[in-house]
Amino acid sequence: MDNERSRKIKHKAGTIWGSFGLPFILIIVLAFFSIQSANFVSWRNLLSTVGFSSYVAIAAIGMTFIIMTGNFDISIGSMLALVAVLGSSFIPGIGGVLGVLSTLIIATLLGFINGLFVTKLRIPAFITTLGMLFIFRALAYIYTDNYPVYIDNRFWLFIGNGKIFKVIPLPIIITAVCYTVAYLVLRRSPLGRYIVAVGTNSRAAELSGINVDNIKIFAFAFSGFFVGVAAVINSANMGAANPGLLGQNYEFQVITAVVLGGTLLGGGNGSLGGALVAAMIITFLGNGMGLLQVGSYWQLVVTGMVMIIAVSLNKLKFYLLGQGEL
């Protein structure tokens, strides 16, 4: 009887944490930096920071699919740099619209290639994407001779800097569209159920008739598409595609957002909405520390701590829900 009561209490605590934990953390972050810096709480800073969080949030949406299948991709930072310099360099020849489309296609293709290596060649995702991390970055350097590609196309620049009704940053709208598409795929289609099944037990999924390899390849390619979207937004925001600056430490920010958002590292369970909130937490942390003039090295320390805490909190939540062990 006592064990049953204890289990119910733990399950209720886990449910409460899963529903309100991230918003609570976000409120604490906002309150702390609002007290420390008057500039932080200004409407302009808050809105622009939410817009900038799309840089992490959009890729986190795609990464959620990969991690739900039991894999991850640490090459996305270098992928972002490569597709940004390629797509932006095409602008003089094909224009801004086709330049954006080519960026999305190339990014999807690179994600597809990662998926092929992981599934068909049976190379572990860590080794595959670690190797691609170096290859993609090197190709970006080689292609540009380590010079930034400056962007002056209005359409491309509008994607990262435009505002709807002269108030809402366009990246926020793009993030909402990406989230809606991903939500429909994950929660309202058979494909989403297959992803959950593969991440929960790939062997059982295979025995039930699901093509496990194709599902994993889709996850990598789908994630690549979102990296392409983020590449356009980020390079447009900077006004240039710099092969050395774009995507630095990006993969760790994105993975931290996904894990902090409630996605189980082992696969099978994920939260798209949680990833969005977690992306805002990470972005507001960076913005707040920047306003307080915290050194860049200490900001890296904080990012590392957040990643460790994210994994710990995730394990605690699933333990309370009876879906894992501490």
Residue range 290-312, pLDDT digits in tens? 888 888 888 888 878 877 877 77
Mean pLDDT of 253-259: 90
- Residue 134 domain flag: yes
d(CA 66, CA 59): 11
Token pair of 106 as six digits? 């190339």
Query: Rounded mean pLDDT of 247-276?
Result: 86
> Does residue 1 lie in a domain region?
no
Could you tell me the two tokens for 133?
């991390």
Q: Alpha-carbon distance 238 to 220, whole Å?
A: 27
* More confidently predicted of 301 and 82: 82
The predicted structure's pLDDT at residue 80: 97
pLDDT digits (tens, 9 = 90+) for 145-159: 999 999 999 999 999
Mean pLDDT calculated for residue range 94-123: 96
**Cα torsion through 80, 86, 87, 89, rounded to 10:** 140
Rounded to whole angstroms, how far apart are CA atoms 84 and 78? 10
Domain assignment present for 285: yes
Query: 3-state class of 146 per DSSP?
Result: coil
Question: 309 CB contacts (<8 Å, ≥6 apart)?
Answer: 260
Residues forming a β-bridge with 149: 241
Q: Number of folded domains in the chain?
A: 1
5, part of any domain? no
Residue 228 domain-assigned (yes or no): yes
Q: Which of 93-102, 170-179, 250-259 shows the lowest per-residue confidence on average (mean pLDDT)?
A: 250-259
Residue closest to 62 by CA, chosen among 111, 124, 114, 123:
111
Model confidence band, residue 326 (pLDDT cutoffs 50, 70, 90):
low
Q: Which residue has the higher pLDDT, 211 or 37?
A: 211
- pLDDT attached to residue 42: 84
| Residue 8 scores a pLDDT above 80 | no
pLDDT, residue 321, reads 67
Q: What is the rounded distance in angstroms from the CA atom of residue 61 to the CA atom of residue 318? A: 21
For residue 239, what is the domain's CATH number? 1.10.3470
Measure CA 214 to chain center: 22
9, part of any domain: no
The answer on pLDDT for 87 being more than 70 is: yes
Per-residue pLDDT at 324: 58
| Alpha carbon distance 118, 124 (integer Å) | 6
Q: Is 169 helix (H, G, I), strand (E, B) or coil?
A: strand
pLDDT of 50? 87
Is the pLDDT at 95 greater than 90? The verdict is yes
Closest C-alpha among 22, 64, 9 to residue 321: 9
Tell me, what amino acid is at 314? N
Q: Percent of the chain beyond pLDDT 70? A: 95
Q: Tell me if 307 sits within 8 A of 259, measured CB to CB.
A: yes
Average pLDDT, the chain: 89
With a pLDDT cut of 90, the percent of the chain lying above it is 56
Q: Which of 57, 58, 52 is nearest to 290 (CA)?
A: 52
Q: Which residues contact 298 (CB under 8 A, 6 or more apart)?
A: 289
Nearest by Cα to 89 from 48, 144, 129: 144
pLDDT digit string, tens, across residues 228-251: 999 999 999 999 999 999 998 899
pLDDT tens for 161-204 read 998 888 889 999 999 999 999 999 999 999 999 999 999 999 99
Residue 24 within any structural domain of the chain: yes
* Boundaries of domain holding 209: 19-320
Residue 250 lies in a domain: yes
